[in-house]
Amino acid sequence: METRAFGKLGRISCLTLGGGGIGQVWGPTTRDEAIATVKDAVDSGITFLDVAPAYGKGEAELVVGAAFNGRLPDGVRLSTKCMLGNPPREEVLSRLERSLDQSLARTKLKRADLFFLHGQIVPDATVARGTPRVLFVEAVRPALDRLVAQGRIGAWGISGIGVPTAILDTINEDPPPAAVQAVANLLDSVGAMRLFDEPARPREIINAAHRRGIAVMGIRAVQAGALTDSFDRELPEDHPEMADYRRAAPFRALAKEVGESAAALAHRYALSVPGVATAVLGVKNRVELRECLEAADRGPLDAALIARIDSAVGRS
């Protein structure tokens, strides 16, 4: 599998196995199938696993623990996360430590290579849910640096889904995160995760991170299923993902024309976004994994096909 520079953290595979699918967030699977999917992913050249307590209430982390029993194969790294919110300042470190302790217990590991703030970073004077910038600067970032100094995590990162001005401020100041998870899909959509009024601006976030040498993990390549041939779960018609699914109808027609599934073409598009080091997969079984592996083997898209896709969905 192709490997790419991952900021200042070396190189990783162009695909990362995410925890959403194996944590049963994106439709049903079984523990045994999830374990087999993780093992097959690593055997196929994937060198990074991205899990979190929020994926199935720890299920994705338990799957990794069961798959490797505390000994990741050589060259394989793992990230996990903490959904912190807006706690009292004096509780920040203890909450991060407690979340990390629980994640390491479930994965049976002694450290995490990357530890992400899972929630959204928001401006101080806002009613949006998330971690206010002032709390991040004065308490969260020092606590994360402390965990790095203790050797409990290799580095820390942030979610790029949040109020864009707050995310860009965090990227552009020192010390910067080692990694950011940013939306990388052909609609530039964060879907139901948009809890703010500003335009999402995911490509601006990706470009800003890339300029600073921050590793970019592209997430939501298929926009929670909106960029696949059909949803694997029922959603109400007024759900943001359903709106994206309807908007993507010309894209699905184009995928059929060029002989690819919508999901495969969407993943290849995400891998073609400048600045993205790795695309995080939300697959829940080996069939979905194999489709993504084969798509990655075909490589990024050429400029002409990207232009056709952008035109189909109304991107300028």
To the nearest whole number, what is the mean pLDDT of the chain?
Answer: 95
**In this predicted structure, what is the pLDDT of residue 295?**
95
**In this predicted structure, what is the pLDDT of residue 25?**
87
**In this predicted structure, what is the pLDDT of residue 128?**
63
Percent of the chain with pLDDT over 90: 88
**In this predicted structure, what is the pLDDT of residue 196?**
81
**In this predicted structure, what is the pLDDT of residue 27?**
81
**In this predicted structure, what is the pLDDT of residue 147?**
98
What's the pLDDT tens digit per position in 111-126? 999 999 998 999 887 6
What's the pLDDT tens digit per position in 229-252? 998 788 899 999 999 999 999 999
Mean pLDDT value across residues 281-288: 95
Mean pLDDT value across residues 69-73: 97
Mean pLDDT value across residues 84-105: 97
Give pTM, 2 decimals: 0.94
SS (H, E, C) the chain: CCEEECCCCCEEECEEEEHHHHCCCCCCCCHHHHHHHHHHHHHCCCCEEECCCCCCCCHHHHHHHHHHCCCCCCCCEEEEEECCCCCCHHHHHHHHHHHHHHHHHHHCCCCECEEEECCCEECCCCCCCCEEHHHHHHHHHHHHHHHHHCCCECCEEEECCCCHHHHHHHHHCCCCCCEEEEECCCCCCCHHHCCCCCCCCHHHHHHHHHHCCCEEEEECCCHHHCCCCCCCCCCCCCCHHHHHHHHCHHHHHHHHHHCCCHHHHHHHHHHHCCCCCEEEECCCCHHHHHHHHHHHHHCCCCHHHHHHHHHHCCCC
Grade residue 127 by pLDDT with cuts at 50, 70 and 90: low
Percent of the chain with pLDDT over 70: 99
**In this predicted structure, what is the pLDDT of residue 197?**
83
Where do the domains of the chain lie, and which CATH numbers do they carry?
Answer: 3-312 (3.20.20.100)
Mean pLDDT value across residues 138-166: 96
What's the pLDDT tens digit per position in 10-42? 999 999 999 999 998 888 899 999 999 999 999
What's the pLDDT tens digit per position in 162-213? 889 999 999 999 999 999 999 999 999 998 888 788 888 999 999 999 999 9
Mean pLDDT value across residues 285-310: 96
